[in-house]
Amino acid sequence: MKPQDIIAGKTSLWIFGYGSLVWKPDFKYQRSKVGYIQGYKRRFWHGDNFHRGNDELPGRVVTLIEDDDETTWGVAFEVAGSQLEESLKYLNVRETVCGGYMTKMVDFFPEGKDQPPVQALVYIATSDNPLYLGPATSEEIGAQIAMSRGKTGHNLEYLLRLAEFMRSSCPHVEDNHLFSIEATALTMVSYLLAAQ
């Protein structure tokens, strides 16, 4: 789905973030809402050789994997007017060109009573992407994250900020994948610091 196809005939658009967008959207928006999408689980299965890693040691960032029984919590941002085209141009570079993600429209369910779902754009990296790393144990993923750094910063920052978002904005949601990787990465970092 190309940006011009997404905005055709629209005056506003919701964009769902489930990774770094939850704390660092870096585009102007009208408003944001915490909520979830259904039918997907968040996994650290995508490689990053730009923002959070490099070609020799790619970082690990999240993507969505289809799973009918799962939900993924995050933040949706509403963009309107000139923000619509500007945000999609920016995200095309950040998520598609540098990250290898594709776009899809999904139903976003805002948190709270009597909140109707809205259609939202989401960026997903699929297994046919050359940066896709696929499944690994929490220990393997945590160790890779602890060691990786890219142009935007350390991969550990990405992990810790995402975990903090989940604890502060979605305290009722247990994300075992995220929290087990966080525990492993922090243990690895403590060992590395002690070894110095």
**Where in the sequence numbering do the catalytic residues fall?**
95
User: For the chain, what is the radius of gyration of the CA atoms?
Assistant: 17
By the 8 A CB rule, do 58 and 147 touch? no
Count of beta carbons in the 10 Å neighbourhood of residue 136:
16
CA of 156: how far to CAs of 20, 33, 52, 119, 123, in Å?
Answer: 12, 25, 9, 31, 21
Smallest CA-to-CA distance from 124 within 21, 10, 11, 4 is with 21
> How far, in Å, CA of 98 to CA of 30, rounded?
26
